[in-house]
Structure 1
Amino acid sequence: MRLYIRNMDPIIHQTLKAHAKEKNMSLSEFTNLIIETQLANQQMKSLTQLIIDSNNQSVNSINELIRVIEKQTEVLNKVLLNQKLLLEL
């Protein structure tokens, strides 16, 4: 598939051609390499964001679990205290 870039700034065109020549590539190959690299970088950023979001969700779930356990501990402590008081009667 050929990619045609319209209205490219002549300086950018010459710069791309020079870089392509340095790497022994055609301008089309070099342009495709740049596009593929950018797509890979974008995909990596998306995957990284998914991991960050997943980690944040895990942290929130763990924090909620800790709050529930703390409440249950308070209730159990009250029950134990009441049982102790009843046994002392």
Structure 2
Amino acid sequence: METLSQLTTDDYKIILFGIIAVLVYILLLRYKRNLWEKQRIERRDYYRNVYLKSDAWKRKRYVVLKRDNWKCVYCGNRATQVHHTRYAKYNIGKEPLK
């Protein structure tokens, strides 16, 4: 194994390149994570502020509540909300009625 005094200029360049590559990789991961978070927030805000206030959602909600006779399918009490599982981002507006 070489000591620091035995390293050549090329060895230092390789080490420096490795450090720079790791730093760039970390910066790219951080940028990607921030981009994903921004997209998630945009989807959430669209769902809450646009889609759930749309006529399409109101019609779908009415159809489901009417189908279930305005009763919760789990407890039998009067239903005031339409509960559903979470869907992938590409299913907003295409939720199944079942």
Tell me the TM-score normalised to structure 1 length.
0.52
Higher Cα radius of gyration:
1
Aligned pair partner of 1:56 in 20, 26, 35: 26
Structure 1 residue 88 displacement after superposition? 6.9
CA RMSD after TM alignment: 2.5
Q: Secondary structure at the match of 1:60?
A: helix
Aligned pair partner of 1:80 in 44, 51, 60: 51
How many residue pairs match? The answer is 55
Residue identity opposite 2:29 in structure 1: V
Q: Following the alignment from structure 2 to structure 1, what is the Cα–Cα distance between the partners of residues 27 and 61?
A: 47
Residue identity opposite 2:38 in structure 1: V
Q: Following the alignment from structure 1 to structure 2, what is the Cα–Cα distance between the partners of residues 65 and 40?
A: 37
Q: Where does the alignment leave 5 or more consecutive residues of structure 1 unmatched?
A: 1-33
The structure carrying a bigger helix percent of its residues is: 1
Q: Following the alignment from structure 1 to structure 2, what is the Cα–Cα distance between the partners of residues 64 and 86?
A: 35
Identity of aligned residues (%): 5
Tell me the TM-score normalised to structure 2 length.
0.48
Q: Following the alignment from structure 1 to structure 2, what is the Cα–Cα distance between the partners of residues 45 and 88?
A: 61
Aligned pairs for 1:1-89 within 5 A:
37-78=7-48, 79-83=50-54, 84-85=57-58
Residue identity opposite 1:80 in structure 2: Y
